[in-house]
Structure 1
């Protein structure tokens, strides 16, 4: 939807930075008014779609909050696959158990401890965005 808004503004007003920014602003106003989500939450939804949109297993197994955690730049495809397996085996996994399991996976890599510090905090344990984002 954001791409549609940007493309429409670029087509009507020329492909400029200003028209792309206005198209983006229109999308975020739509998200806030129609969907009831903040610009921060909309950005997270977009990032989750960009990273996990071609991974139907991850999209069906994880909550939005868990997907946000997995957006950390040091989380690899192998980590995600391992987390899919763990979550599939324990669908009622708590957020604490989820982050603990991911932390142990990250610590098995050479830079895992620094990667865990970059994991986002906040959010709910369900699919709804947190009030802060």
Structure 2
């Protein structure tokens, strides 16, 4: 029959990026839960899920920074969150100017940096 899983994320200790940490953590937890359910016979066949990871990026003093800590986030001119699938498609690309507007070029720089960080996070799926 059908199985419903509820994934609840509580970030107990963080220095910024709690939302993106929750997204990546929840995706990995779901994969682990499905693997366990298959091993224990709860599932008759593997369930294919699309890997998802998320990361924060910001502009601080005109520089794009990955996974900002609290101090960097507090001083950011732009705060952005990026969520991507394992096959390179965007789920979310959200950014907010924290004062003055920013350029399309800044957004492109942040997206490129996010892609590098997310690619690194996808190595966790192989563990």
* TM superposition score normalised by structure 1: 0.28
Considering fraction of residues, name the structure with more strand: 2
Considering fraction of residues, name the structure with more helix: 1
* TM superposition score normalised by structure 2: 0.29
